[in-house]
A and B are shown apart, each in its own frame.
Chain A
Amino acid sequence: MYPKELLYTKEHEWVKVDGDTAKIGITSHAQDQLGDIVFVELPKVGDKAHATQSFGTVESVKAVSDIYAPVSGDIVAINEDLIDAPEKINEDPHVGGWLISVKISDKTELDTLMTADDYAAYVSAESES
């Protein structure tokens, strides 16, 4: 359910590390809980992302949610497809529904993130609490 090659946050974002860049999105669990996503607000290329701080919002029919950066760095790309097709996040959260790509400034920040198995356990524990 959660791809092994990704890392995960407690705030339900995922990170795909490729060299010194990181692609960031929200997890399948997050999109499922939010429901039909209708709007995404993303930063601009060239803006900076700061770990644990909000870099954008995702809106479903009923809710607005902040998205937090798992790692810090310059934003090098945003997923323009989401502007007209935010539902992509529901349809393909871990690949086509990516949000931004960041040039990682401090790789040690990745150490705090969860593996797929840890995240799965975290989600099921959270659902039961």
Chain B
Amino acid sequence: MPDGRTQDLFPLFTVHRSLLTNSGSPLICVSLSFPPMDDALLKTPLNEVHRASGARMVDFGGWDMPVQYPAGIAAEHMAVRTGVGLFDVSHMGEIEVTGPQALDLLEKVTCNRVANLQDGQAHYTGLLNEQGGFIDDLLVHRVGEGHYFLCVNASNQDKDYAHIAAQAEGDVKVDFVSKSWAQIAVQGPKAVATVQKLTDANLEAIQYYWFSQGVVAGVPGILARTGYTGEDGFELYVPASAAVEAWNAVLEAGKDAGILPCGLGARNTLRLEAAMALHGHEISETITPLEAGLAWIVKLDKGDFIGRDALVRQKEQGAPRKLIGFEMRDRGIGRDGYPVVVGDKQAGVVTSGGPSPYLGTNIGMALVEQPAPGIGEPIGIEIRGKKTAAEVVKRPFYKRDRA
């Protein structure tokens, strides 16, 4: 599922010096200083709320976003696994595609079968280039016949819109509506009960990956039973002007359940445990869905679409690389960008890796050359020049119990 990361494999936060700096390794560093308000950064409608609540803000692909609140990443993570957490994901992009040929356009630019969607249903899919790589990953929601609502990654939204608009033919309109919407994700085993306090809509009737238009916290919006944490919950799309109202209402409604506001730090550890892809990491312009273990979103038999020829060839010849999950066996944390060693040979790279707050182990995903090692086989992760033992394990690392 999409998130707001930059295209670049090794993105983001303001890098500071020495102790609080990246030790020559390609990964994320937390800025030491509380960054000053930077007018060049984009802000969500909840920016002031985050700052007032003591969030640590970072430059996240050009957006001034909370990486964590005072509770800290581990506590925020556990709130989502055991109770409920609240995320501002208003930086995500929204695109509306409408008109009699909206379906044709979306079938052409995305790899999943849009015709399968019913009114009120959503699916995960890819916006692919001719080589079969991901321009972006996204959610397509079918609002009604000839009316689709797309949720795309923050840092890719401009190019996504440009690409889709450029492919439009005939009677179809593509509108970039990101500025109109705020998005608040309410996630965790107590998320549904929390949101239910704020709406008359019968949330239990909304299945996973379905959505409903309705009023939530007195605000008209879209209630989608989707998420990027591996937990049950809702992603609420509300008008940008009502974001603060909705945010505060959810915080209040979740009080008894111990709700915590959660930053991008916890969002990343949660999606990693759930082994969900992050653009710029597990998937990118040069990584195909077949390599990333996402063959289930590729419908080669639906007719032509951009990237299809490349994927047909790749399927015939076999994808050259494969995404695997690993767990560290030696002490050490295999982080984004670290080399992966299979046998004695460097055979890939960690796409995302870090500590798992829920499992208490160090986990990661890596893109490795075929033939890839199987479940249970040993691999090495090169951590600051030292080969450190890990084992290939099944993805996802964490799977919730479904009632």
> Which of the residues B30, B33, B56, B384 comes within 8 Å of A126, measured between beta carbons?
B33
Q: Is the CB of A57 within 8 A of B73?
A: no
Residues in A1-47 with C-beta less than 8 Å from chain B: 10-13, 26, 29-30, 33-36, 38-39, 41
Q: Is the CB of A30 within 8 A of B19?
A: yes
Question: A36 — which chain B residues lie within 8 A by C-beta?
Answer: 72-74, 357
Check B265 for interface membership: any CB of A closer than 8 A.
Answer: yes
Q: Is the CB of A65 within 8 A of B68?
A: no
Q: Is the CB of B25 within 8 A of A127?
A: no
In the complex, which residue of chain A has the Cβ closest to the Cβ of B29?
Answer: A63
Chain A interface residue bracket vs B: 20 to 34
Residues in B2-31 with C-beta less than 8 Å from chain A: 13, 17-23, 25, 27-31
In the complex, which residue of chain B has the Cβ closest to the Cβ of A57?
Answer: B23
Question: B73 — which chain A residues lie within 8 A by C-beta?
Answer: 35-36, 60-62
> Which of the residues A54, A61, A63, A127 comes within 8 Å of B20, measured between beta carbons?
A63
Q: Is the CB of A12 within 8 A of B18?
A: yes
Q: Is the CB of B19 within 8 A of A68?
A: yes
Residues in B150-197 with C-beta less than 8 Å from chain A: none
Query: Closest CB-CB distance, B312 to chain A, in whole Å?
Result: 39
Q: Is the CB of A35 within 8 A of B355?
A: no
Residues in B206-244 with C-beta less than 8 Å from chain A: none
Q: Is the CB of A65 within 8 A of B333?
A: no
Check A67 for interface membership: any CB of B closer than 8 A.
Answer: yes
Check B303 for interface membership: any CB of A closer than 8 A.
Answer: no
* Bound form: Cα–Cα A57–B19 in Å: 8
- Report B316-356 CB contacts with A as 1/0, cut-off 8 Å: 00000000000000011101000000000000000000110
Chain B interface residue bracket vs A: 35 or more
Check A108 for interface membership: any CB of B closer than 8 A.
Answer: no
Question: B121 — which chain A residues lie within 8 A by C-beta?
Answer: none
Q: Is the CB of A39 within 8 A of B333?
A: yes
Check A111 for interface membership: any CB of B closer than 8 A.
Answer: no
Q: Is the CB of B331 within 8 A of A63?
A: no
Q: Is the CB of A126 within 8 A of B21?
A: no
Q: Is the CB of A66 within 8 A of B36?
A: no
In the complex, which residue of chain B has the Cβ closest to the Cβ of A58?
Answer: B19
Q: Is the CB of A64 within 8 A of B74?
A: no
In the complex, which residue of chain A has the Cβ closest to the Cβ of B74?
Answer: A36
Q: Is the CB of B354 within 8 A of A11?
A: no
> Which of the residues A35, A38, A68 comes within 8 Å of B333, measured between beta carbons?
A38
> Which of the residues A38, A61, A63, A127 comes within 8 Å of B33, measured between beta carbons?
A127
Question: A127 — which chain B residues lie within 8 A by C-beta?
Answer: 33-34
Question: B355 — which chain A residues lie within 8 A by C-beta?
Answer: 38-39, 59, 61
Query: Closest CB-CB distance, B189 to chain A, in whole Å?
Result: 22
Question: B27 — which chain A residues lie within 8 A by C-beta?
Answer: 63-64
Query: Closest CB-CB distance, A32 to chain B, in whole Å?
Result: 9
Tell whether A129 pairs with B33 under 8 Å between CB atoms, given A62-B354, A63-B27: yes
Q: Is the CB of B34 within 8 A of A64?
A: no
Q: Is the CB of B72 within 8 A of A30?
A: no
17 contacts across the A-B interface (CB closer than 8 A): A11-B18, A12-B18, A33-B32, A35-B30, A36-B74, A38-B333, A58-B19, A62-B13, A62-B28, A62-B265, A63-B30, A64-B25, A65-B21, A66-B18, A66-B19, A68-B19, A126-B33
List 4 tightest A-B contacts by C-beta distance, closest first. A11-B18, A66-B23, A36-B74, A61-B73
Interface positions of B (Cβ within 8 A of A): 13, 17-23, 25, 27-34, 36, 56, 67-68, 72-74, 265, 268-269, 331-333, 335, 354-355, 357, 362, 384
